[in-house]
């Protein structure tokens, strides 16, 4: 289930766009939400924006657009490496 109160507004806008304009299924949008939240939580740890390491305890509500714009290809590669080493 998606809890929009826990997302930054730009994530909610993307999810709304995906379900209404792109006609994605509710299950796909739910997975997008999960994946985006995981990515933003990882970036908070990666950018040292939190000392918390338990993903369940990290909030992404405050992950602003300025920080999002600082993400580089190398940061994305780091996330993909993390995923490869820590399968869900």
Global pTM reads 0.92
User: Between these two residues, 7 and 88, which has the higher pLDDT value?
Assistant: 7
- Tokens standing for 13? 């806008």
DSSP string, 20-81: HTS---HHHHHHHHHHHHHHHHHHHHHTTS-S---GGG---TT--HHHHHT--HHHHHHHHH
Q: By three-state DSSP, how is residue 86 classified?
A: coil
Q: At residue 6, does pLDDT exceed 70?
A: yes
User: What pLDDT digit, counting tens, does each position of 20-60 carry?
Assistant: 999 999 999 999 999 999 999 999 999 999 999 999 999 99
List b or e across 7-41, with b for residues whose CB sees 16 or more CB atoms inside 10 angstroms: bbeebeebbeebbeeeebeeeebeebbeebbbbbb
């Amino acid at each position: 289930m998606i809890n929009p109160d826990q997302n930054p507004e730009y994530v909610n806008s993307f999810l709304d766009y995906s379900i209404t304009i792109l006609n994605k299924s509710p299950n796909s949008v739910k997975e997008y939400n999960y994946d985006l939240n995981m990515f933003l939580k990882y970036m908070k740890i990666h950018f040292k924006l939190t000392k918390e390491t338990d993903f369940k305890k990290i909030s992404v509500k405050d992950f602003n657009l300025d920080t999002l714009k600082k993400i580089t290809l190398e940061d994305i590669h780091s996330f993909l490496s993390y995923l490869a080493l820590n399968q869900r």
